[in-house]
Amino acid sequence: MTNQISKGSALILGVGAYKGLGAAIARRFAKEGHPVLIAGRTEAKLKTTIEQLSQEGLQVACAVGDATKPEDVARFITEAEKLAPLQIAVQNAGENTPSPFLETPAERFIEHWQVHTLSAFYLAQAALPRMLEHGGGSLFFTGASGSLRGKANFAPFASAKAGLRMLAQSLAREFGPRGIHVASVIVDGIIDGDRTVELLPMLKGNRGTDRMLQVDEIARAYWHLHKQHRSAWTLEMDLRPYTEHF
């Protein structure tokens, strides 16, 4: 394991639809016996996810709030600590709204930075002191290929994800020697989840399931990172379907 804590709590920040990545990460850690708290902005989606996970025999708690507000993030940490000492924190918040650069208002650029980068800063500042007190932990960030290359019409998203990637690298170098496994997962491709089905309903039929990223397989990667021995920690892991061009 990453440290000597056994079955500490896991906070998954940025959970929406049940068939989404955040919920899949929560499911994976809950199945492995960790008390899990999921957090997000939409109470209805969180309650639906809780109900679905409960039908699978998994007990998961939830908290409603905004990841871009430090007081809400601090509250999420406190709620997770009520379940068990915090051992895992995952920042999975954020979405992408592509648009031509000259038609992109500053407000949209700022919003992407707040949701992807600033929220990660708040989570790290709130979670790291608790993990240091407990003797170690895992702090993971959901990244994107946009952090490696800025595609046309993706300026706000790519900039924010690049900032997130650099934050993860800086934190890993500072806190790795203190027993905290910091890592980022670069998701390169389209995720087969509710959001994709809603926005691009024909895509799944055209591609098939194994040419899209499966949420449970991505979640498996997060669990693998957490279970790594500290003599061979991964800082950055990129995941993509076998047919994805990169």
- pLDDT per position as a tens digit, 193-243: 766 555 566 565 566 668 899 999 999 999 999 999 999 999 999 999 999
Using the predicted structure, report yes or no on whether residue 75 has a pLDDT greater than 90: yes
Write the burial class of residue 147 (CB in 10 Å: 0-12 exposed, 13-18 middle, 19+ buried).
Answer: buried
244 domain-assigned? no
CA distance 160 to 94: 10
pLDDT level of residue 4 (50, 70, 90 thresholds): very low
2 domain-assigned? no
235 domain-assigned? yes
> At 90, is the secondary structure helix, strand, or coil?
strand
Indicate the residue type of 12.
I
28 domain-assigned? yes
Tens of pLDDT, residues 25-46: 999 999 999 999 999 999 999 9
Domain span holding position 22: 9-239
- Is this structure's pTM higher than 0.75? yes
Tens of pLDDT, residues 123-149: 999 999 999 999 999 999 999 999 999
Candidates 21, 16, 30; CA nearest to 218 is 21
How many domains does the chain contain in total?
1
> Tokens 């995952």 map to which residue?
90
1 domain-assigned? no
4 domain-assigned? no
Using the predicted structure, report yes or no on whether residue 14 has a pLDDT greater than 70: yes
75 domain-assigned? yes
Indicate the residue type of 9.
S
Q: What residues are paired with 177 via a beta bridge? A: none
CA distance 159 to 113: 8
Say what the pLDDT of residue 2 is: 42
Say what the pLDDT of residue 5 is: 47
What CATH number did the domain enclosing 66 receive?
3.40.50.720
186 domain-assigned? yes
